[in-house]
Amino acid sequence: MTHVTLRSEFETLIDPYAPVGQVGTGFDFTEGPIWHPVDHYLLFSDMPGDVRRRWDARRGVVEVKRPANKCNGMTYDAELNLIVCEHATSSLIRERPDGRREVLASHFGGQELNSPNDVCVHSSGAIYFSDPWYGRMPVYGVERPRQLGFQGVYRVVPGSEPQLVVERNLFDQPNGLCFSPDEKLLYVNDTVQALIRVFDVAADGSLGNARVFASGIKSELEPGLPDGMKCDQHGNVWVTAPGGVWVYSPRGELLGKVRVPELVANLAWGGPDFRMLYLTATHSVYAIPTKTGPRHEPYMSGKRGGAGASSSAAAPILTDGEMRLDPQRCAMIILDLQNDVVMDGGAFAESGAPVHARQQNVIENVRRLAEVARGRGVAIIHVWFVVEPGAPGVTLNAPLFEGLVDSKALVRGSWGAAPVSGLEPRPGDFVVEKMRMSAWEGTKLETILKATGRDMIINTGAWTNMSVEHTARTGADKGYFMIVPEDCCSTMNADWHNASVNFAMQNVAVVTKAETVIRALG
């Protein structure tokens, strides 16, 4: 089956000949796909059959819950509790891994909700869900009168009452909804009106400035209407539609169409690297490889019960040459980029370090990467080698430390100890001081990482074969994922640099380039 390219950007997201693989069939009507990021399986619902199933590559399809209260949309929260829209109970439910069941929302203004249909979770922990009345129809729910006189979209913070966040009569049947990558926008589609609306998300979680993002999502020739919807890492919107899935750019331009043999109800990315798009269709579930992945959602960090990242949490993975990194798990370390180290006139200028730093364009590359990283929410940690006058406490057990003392280098308060121009700390950055090669030895680095929940380290700075390499080795031993953009590092000369990045660090870090890291951060 050939997918339909309408704009060239479409083929950067998916191969036009990407195979459509059937992973299971024989169901009544499948919905609600969601991928478990730690245990690597797909959950999906079958509303008419009143059953929930799971699929993984080892066991195939197995039944996990019957009856399932005609469940529809599902997702996870940041602690990997399952959030479920139930048609039969008109409720939004949280199921904890130990089986405990909690009702998050069931009424609004003293009246029963219609039937929660689809759901997404904001990084704040607030949950947004749509409430059409499909679950009060036969087959897809339990036929019964409606109590509310409208179909809304709600925001609920667990433990509080749901808040209506759209005008009561704006939607006929609100259905799929998803956030943009930066969570500044919420997209909500309407199955009856065959369109997608977009809202601005305010700091308090309310929605405003409603406008139509895309319309006319229907066809007289093929079945299919807006239903499930997801946003990818680049801000493109993927929505079920006639013939399969239509893909819109962040500007609302229709880029192309993913063709599927059956009417598609919903979609979700999964797989170890979140590059497999799973689609729940009428009687089957399909899987299609893509070149892009989803916008990062809170559950994708793979944490259970508020604890640290699981040992099975997704590592930085290269797929088809593209890396994906969760900015909320990342810290960027800027090591030893101080005047004495890499500047002409510095204490170590005769080592060749300033020349190699220029050859690597290391100051500008690190500055640019840090600027992007800050904007994505990455923790920036400056690590400086600083000694007091006379270098008390510095042992003379290695030529490196002997040279430091003899050169009277990196003395607190001196020009030589200061960061190079352009790499000064910004508000919100951290500063760590050390007196050894590794950023870990005798410092507060790990305290900062633990406190901020960071387990992926973008390792940049001076002395590739010493400070950078030692920091990468120790970080790997401690269980951190180490990423080294080699064009953000420099040392005395290219030979020492290449020996480190091409050999020594290959088994302890992902060695890459600044531009790859920038793309990976979304």
Instruction: Give the 3-state secondary structure of 187-256.
Output: EEEECCCCEEEEEEECCCCCEEEEEEEECCCCCCCCCCCCCCEEEECCCCEEEEECCEEEEECCCCCEEE
CA distances in angstroms from 54 to 31, 40, 300, 516, listed in the order given? 12, 10, 18, 34
Q: Rounded distance, CA 438 to CA 472, Å?
A: 8
Mean pLDDT by groups of 10 residues along the chain of 522 residues: 90 95 94 93 94 92 93 95 96 90 96 97 95 92 93 95 96 97 96 98 96 96 94 96 97 97 96 92 95 91 49 43 80 97 95 96 97 94 96 88 89 97 95 95 93 92 96 93 96 94 89 92 86
Half-sphere exposure at residue 2, Cβ-oriented, CA atoms within 13 angstroms: 3
In the chain, the N- to C-terminal Cα span, in Å, equals 30
CA distances in angstroms from 400 to 411, 435, 440, listed in the order given? 15, 11, 17
What are 98's two structure tokens?
Answer: 């130990």
Question: SS3 for 339?
Answer: helix
Q: Rounded distance, CA 95 to CA 84, Å?
A: 8
pLDDT of residue 305: 52
- 42-46, strands of its sheet edge to edge: 30-35, 42-46, 51-56, 60-65
What are 291's two structure tokens?
Answer: 């070149």
What helix, strand, coil percent values describe the chain, rounded to 5? Answer: 20, 35, 45
CA torsion through residues 345, 349, 352, 357, sign: negative
What are 483's two structure tokens?
Answer: 């990423």
- Angle at Cα 345 formed by Cα 343 and Cα 350, nearest 5°? 85
pLDDT of residue 27: 95
Question: SS3 for 186?
Answer: strand
pLDDT of residue 342: 96
To which residue do tokens 């490889």 refer?
A: 289
Residue pair 230/241 in contact by the 8 Å Cβ criterion: no
pLDDT of residue 313: 44
Residue pair 19/289 in contact by the 8 Å Cβ criterion: yes
Question: SS3 for 26?
Answer: coil
CA distances in angstroms from 437 to 385, 391, 488, listed in the order given? 8, 15, 17
What are 24's two structure tokens?
Answer: 């299971």
CB-neighbour burial class of residue 60 (10 A; exposed 0-12, middle 13-18, buried 19+)? exposed
Residue pair 503/476 in contact by the 8 Å Cβ criterion: no
pLDDT of residue 308: 36
Residue pair 520/293 in contact by the 8 Å Cβ criterion: no
**Could you tell me which of 18, 7, 15 has the C-alpha nearest to residue 255?**
7
pLDDT of residue 453: 87
CA distances in angstroms from 203 to 122, 199, 207, 208, listed in the order given? 12, 13, 9, 11
CA torsion through residues 173, 264, 326, 85, sign: positive
For residue 366, the surrounding DSSP H or E stretch is: helix 362-376
Q: Rounded distance, CA 450 to CA 427, Å?
A: 20
Residue 263 amino acid letter: L
